[in-house]
Amino acid sequence: MPVVAALDVGGTSIKAGLITEDGTVALESRRPTGVELGPEAVVERIATFAADLTEQAPVRGIGLCVPGVVDSAVGVARYAANLGWTDVPFVELLEDRLGVPVALGHDVRSGALAEARRGAGQGAASVYFMAVGTGIAAGLVTSGEVYNGSSGQAGEVGHLVVRPGGPLCGCGNRGCLEAIASASRLGKAFALATGREVSAKDLFLAVGAGDAVAQAIWDDAVAAMADALAAVCVLEDPGLIVIGGGLSLAGPALVTPLARELERRLTFRPAPPIVVAALGDRAGLAGAALLGWDAVARADPAVAHAVAPAARPRQES
């Protein structure tokens, strides 16, 4: 069956697969990103991985999602601090090398696209997907299309200041959502309060065990997320909020109080429902595949493909 090659690039590994129009994963693979080898080597690894995939099946197109600042409109990865690159023209590079249509997207916004079309957001006209993990980022999908912003930086909700003058964030500002509610900061907050080094998972378990300090840190993180999402609701009016990333594994322990706190802040309007992401860590790969099929459709409008989510939404296999 015709497939696209989908690649989801992370700081540790590159997940890839050959994926059909209906979302079936025909082949899945993973390779180390190799950040320690330098940005040029990482770019070559991505290109080589894509080339190897095209030898496995009749690949119609390629979808690639990467972190950092991504200008999807021109197909250029502008900047990625953890990967070290600047202004990499991935679409041109891969199309010249492999001769098939290529689409480039941001990793979290691609995950948002997948959740909207094939995951927890199916059937919703507007979906706001927020991934809460080591960092926090988001994506808004309306009528099946993700909003990238004028410079490819839409969705950086982690750097929305929710506590002016608060903890220092990696971006250089103070009081950003990411500096309070990300998984990495939860553990650090507990260590500062108790002197005990723990992970976000350990903190969550401590909450369940009745630890008052852990509960206070958790409550503060939920309140900070509610503050950020209240601003999103007022500005963007999403029909559904989907929470993904590692912290979403807390399930109702996160979503239930978050929904309650969001409702309290939206005094003049109802809050949209909040649900946990359905695709887990496969959202980026599924989103990359959707981008790939979209690129195929632009090159050949006769192709019947997954770009029409309202017409025939299907669950990712």
Condensed to tens digits (0 to 9), the pLDDT of residues 220-258 reads 999 999 999 999 999 999 999 999 998 999 999 999 999
Q: Which residues partner with 176 through β-bridges? A: 161
Residue-wise pLDDT for 262-295, tens only, equals 999 999 999 999 999 999 888 999 999 999 999 9
SS3 275: strand
The closest alpha carbon to 42, from 104, 96, 85, belongs to: 85
SS3 165: coil
Distances (CA, A) of 198 to 87, 192, 267: 37, 11, 36
> What string of DSSP letters covers 50-92?
HHHHHTTS-EEEEEEEESSEEETTTTEEEEETTTTEEEE-HHH
Q: Which residues partner with 59 through β-bridges? A: 3
Query: Considering the chain, what percentage of its residues have pLDDT values greater than 90?
Result: 78
| pLDDT at 199 (0 to 100) | 86
The reported pTM is 0.89
Q: Which residues partner with 5 through β-bridges? A: 18, 62
Distances (CA, A) of 196 to 25, 65, 183, 199, 207: 42, 37, 16, 10, 15
Q: Which residues partner with 29 through β-bridges? A: 16
Radius of gyration of the chain (CA): 20
SS3 74: coil
Measured between alpha carbons, how far apart are the two ends of the chain, in Å? 15
Q: Is the pLDDT of residue 170 over 90?
A: no
Query: Considering the chain, what percentage of its residues have pLDDT values greater than 70?
Result: 95
pLDDT band at 177 (very low <50, low <70, confident <90, very high): very high
| pLDDT at 303 (0 to 100) | 67
Measured distance CA(47)–CA(19) in Å, rounded: 18
pLDDT band at 99 (very low <50, low <70, confident <90, very high): very high
Residue-wise pLDDT for 303-317, tens only, equals 654 444 433 333 332
Question: Nearest 5 degrees, angle CA 43-CA 48-CA 49?
Answer: 100
State the chain's mean pLDDT as an integer. 91
Domains annotated for the chain, with CATH where assigned, are 3-106+280-299 (3.30.420.40), 120-276 (3.30.420.40)
> What string of DSSP letters covers 84-118?
TEEEE-HHHHHHHHH-S-EEEEEHHHHHHHHHHHH
